[in-house]
């Protein structure tokens, strides 16, 4: 008695679009690193210390915030896997031939993706709060107060 495994075939167009998108993001990253970063650093160098630190803090928060859509996507995929009780769920595009997992294993994978997405969001928010509090304590420290505010308050 053999168990027949259902296999979802890879979607070549989807794979091509996905990897082309990755390539575009990498090229844009390299171009921005080489052409946008130097003038931006010149602008930052001309700012007073307090404003420079605040702009850098905003940049770090925007970078961390950019990962929240990925976490939401993980939660959405996990919910669909749990709903259909199959991974990949019906209609899901895959980049390589994939054996369909059903039953408890699929539920476990779906719940794992949901938990992973929630943990990522919690870590991002915690990181934002932590970086803000560290910078705030740094600016308020007696040793550095005169550097940021011009006088020893």
Q: Is cis: bond before 88, omega within 30 of 0?
A: yes
Q: Is the pLDDT of residue 1 over 50?
A: no
**Cα distance from N-terminal residue to C-terminal residue, the chain:** 82
Distance (Å, rounded) from C-alpha 18 to C-alpha 32?
Answer: 21
Query: What whole-number percentage of the chain has pLDDT above 70?
Result: 95
In this prediction, residues 110-133 reach a mean pLDDT of 96
Distance (Å, rounded) from C-alpha 103 to C-alpha 16?
Answer: 31
Q: Is the pLDDT of residue 153 over 70?
A: no
CB-CB contact of 71 with 121 (8 Å): yes
- Per-chain mean pLDDT for the chain: 90
Distance (Å, rounded) from C-alpha 63 to C-alpha 57?
Answer: 10
pTM: 0.81
CB-CB contact of 42 with 55 (8 Å): no
pLDDT (0 to 100) of residue 3: 61
pLDDT tens-digit series, residues 8-26: 898 899 999 999 999 999 9
pLDDT tens-digit series, residues 31-74: 998 999 899 889 998 988 888 889 999 999 999 999 999 999 99
């Amino acid at each position: 008695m053999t168990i027949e495994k259902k296999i979802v075939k890879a979607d070549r167009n989807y794979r091509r679009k996905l990897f082309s998108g990755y390539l575009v993001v990498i090229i844009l990253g390299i171009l921005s690193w080489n052409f946008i970063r130097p003038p931006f650093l010149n602008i930052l160098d001309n700012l007073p210390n307090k404003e420079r630190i605040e702009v850098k803090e905003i940049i770090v928060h925007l970078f961390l915030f950019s990962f929240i859509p990925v976490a939401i996507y993980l939660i959405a995929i996990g919910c669909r896997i749990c709903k259909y009780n199959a991974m990949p769920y019906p209609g899901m595009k895959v980049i390589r031939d994939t054996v369909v997992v059903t039953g408890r294993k699929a539920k476990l994978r779906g719940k794992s993706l949901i938990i992973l997405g929630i943990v990522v969001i919690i870590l991002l928010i915690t990181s934002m709060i932590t970086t803000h509090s560290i910078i705030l304590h740094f600016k308020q420290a007696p040793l550095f107060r005169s550097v940021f505010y011009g006088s020893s308050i």
